[in-house]
């Protein structure tokens, strides 16, 4: 049975024509890093401010990087539709501070909201750092003085992050290289590839190595550049095909999951033109039971994100993300749908409540 979800395995997928990752920058200046965290760290150290505003709905690793850079954090709230609570956001801004925000799951922030954010940040002399990890491949407006992204969420890369700007990018032209993180991830990806092809039975080993690599990233205090192996891979991915696959998979699930509306809510919106979705996000009161049930069907659904600093959101308690990436096609999406339907049928018998 084909697995759905989880870390990427190593694969070769040469892109002979078409759009490449870096083509999307349209000649904007950039620096390549080993991770999104390295990119954030480099920007925050360069800005050398003291306070930063962050959404409460974010990754713990982002919070840690801000603290490691000596910033005092002010959190602002996110509504249940992933929109910003503007009154809360504006009140969190500090004079000459930094605002870091994410357009979630590839979907654009309303242009009127972006304009309000720009005006408020101009008033308080706040620098905007926009985390475009989720929206990098969508045709969306960006307002960040600096933008950062992680590519490991999109492709089978050992490492990969970027900082870029529509203006000058006041960062060093190069950063030191430290390949311990990427080397362990490359080995984990290679072992997983063999496991999926039936060449080994080392599932625990590749999972352990992925975990070891994350621990290295968690303890880093400096920014490092992209490894040579990942730089060589960046231009080999079929971007147009990736976007098409993700959109097709998202649309399939979005158009089928409505029959479960009495107990399951689709949180991410209808797929508009120009959007490349990262996941389809659902919410239900029985999230943990559904997630466990799917795992037994070899369908692995992450939670974005668990509670941060003891603050739980409706997302951390009830939502999970359904994989719709380019590794999968309609057959896989149908299997995912059927697994949820099987759970729903069992739920009617009160086996899962």
pLDDT digits (tens, 9 = 90+) for 168-223: 899 999 999 999 999 999 999 999 999 999 999 999 999 999 999 999 999 999 99
Give residue 351's pLDDT.
53
> In the predicted model, is pLDDT for residue 312 greater than 90?
no
Instruction: Read off the DSSP letter of residue 4.
Output: B
Give residue 14's pLDDT.
62
163 to each of 106, 136, 159, 174, 308, how far by Cα in Å?
A: 18, 12, 14, 12, 24
CA gap 341, 295 in Å, rounded:
15
> Is the preceding omega at residue 305 within 30 degrees of 0, hence cis?
yes
Q: Average the pLDDT over 266-288 and give the result.
A: 96
CA gap 62, 50 in Å, rounded:
16
User: Between these two residues, 99 and 311, which has the higher pLDDT value?
Assistant: 99
Give residue 161's pLDDT.
97
Residues 6+ apart with CB under 8 A from 288: none
3-state secondary structure of 84: strand
Model pLDDT for residues 144-166, shown as the tens digit of each residue: 999 999 999 999 999 999 999 98
> Is the preceding omega at residue 270 within 30 degrees of 0, hence cis?
no
CA gap 246, 249 in Å, rounded:
5
User: Between these two residues, 200 and 352, which has the higher pLDDT value?
Assistant: 200
User: Between these two residues, 171 and 347, which has the higher pLDDT value?
Assistant: 171
Strands (E), 94-247: 98-101, 127-131, 146-150, 161-164
User: Between these two residues, 18 and 100, which has the higher pLDDT value?
Assistant: 100
> In the predicted model, is pLDDT for residue 350 greater than 70?
no
User: Between these two residues, 81 and 314, which has the higher pLDDT value?
Assistant: 81
Residues 6+ apart with CB under 8 A from 21: 151, 155, 234, 235, 237, 239
Q: What is the DSSP string of 308-332?
A: BTTB--HHHHHEEEEE--TT--HHH
Model pLDDT for residues 47-92, shown as the tens digit of each residue: 999 999 999 999 999 999 999 999 999 999 999 999 999 999 999 9
Mean pLDDT over all residues of the chain? 94
- The pTM of the whole model exceeds 0.85: yes
Q: Average the pLDDT over 276-280 and give the result.
A: 98
274: tokens are 């120009």
3-state secondary structure of 50: coil
Per-residue pLDDT band for 352 (boundaries 50, 70, 90) equals low
Q: Is the Cβ–Cβ distance between 283 and 267 less than 8 Å? A: yes
Q: Is the Cβ–Cβ distance between 159 and 35 less than 8 Å? A: yes
Give residue 24's pLDDT.
85
CA gap 121, 127 in Å, rounded:
7
Q: Average the pLDDT over 256-271 and give the result.
A: 96
Per-residue pLDDT band for 13 (boundaries 50, 70, 90) equals low
243: tokens are 């976007």
């Amino acid at each position: 049975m084909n697995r759905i979800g989880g870390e990427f395995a190593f694969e070769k997928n040469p892109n002979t024509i078409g759009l490449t990752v870096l083509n999307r920058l349209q000649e904007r200046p950039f620096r390549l890093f080993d991770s999104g965290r390295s990119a954030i760290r480099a920007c925050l150290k360069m800005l050398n401010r003291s306070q930063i505003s962050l959404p409460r709905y974010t990754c713990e690793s982002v919070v840690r990087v801000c603290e490691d850079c000596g910033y005092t954090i002010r959190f602002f709230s996110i509504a249940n539709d992933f929109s910003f609570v503007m009154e809360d956001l504006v009140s969190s801004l500090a004079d000459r501070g930094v605002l870091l925000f994410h357009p979630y799951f590839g979907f654009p922030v309303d242009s009127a909201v972006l304009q309000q954010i720009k005006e408020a940040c101009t008033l308080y002399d706040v620098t905007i750092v926009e985390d475009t990890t989720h929206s990098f491949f969508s045709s969306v407006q960006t307002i960040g003085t600096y933008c950062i992204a992680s590519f490991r969420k999109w492709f089978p890369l050992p490492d990969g992050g970027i900082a870029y700007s529509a203006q000058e990018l006041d960062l060093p032209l190069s950063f030191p290289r430290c390949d311990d993180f990427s080397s362990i991830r490359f080995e984990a990806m290679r072992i997983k590839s063999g496991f999926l092809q039936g060449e080994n039975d080392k599932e625990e080993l590749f999972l352990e190595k992925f975990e070891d690599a994350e621990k290295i990233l968690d303890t880093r205090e400096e920014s490092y550049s992209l490894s040579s192996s990942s730089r060589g891979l960046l231009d080999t991915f079929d971007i147009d095909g990736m976007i098409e696959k993700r959109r097709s998979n998202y649309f399939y699930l979005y158009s089928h999951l409505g029959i479960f509306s009495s107990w399951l809510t689709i949180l991410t919106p209808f797929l508009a033109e120009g959007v490349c979705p990262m996941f389809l996000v659902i919410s239900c009161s029985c999230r943990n039971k559904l997630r466990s049930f799917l795992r037994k069907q070899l369908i692995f659904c992450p939670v974005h994100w668990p509670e941060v600093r003891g603050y739980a959101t409706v997302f951390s308690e009830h939502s999970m993300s359904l994989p719709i990436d380019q590794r999968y096609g309609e057959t896989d999406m149908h299997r995912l749908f059927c697994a949820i339907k099987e759970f729903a049928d069992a739920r009617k018998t009160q086996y899962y409540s």
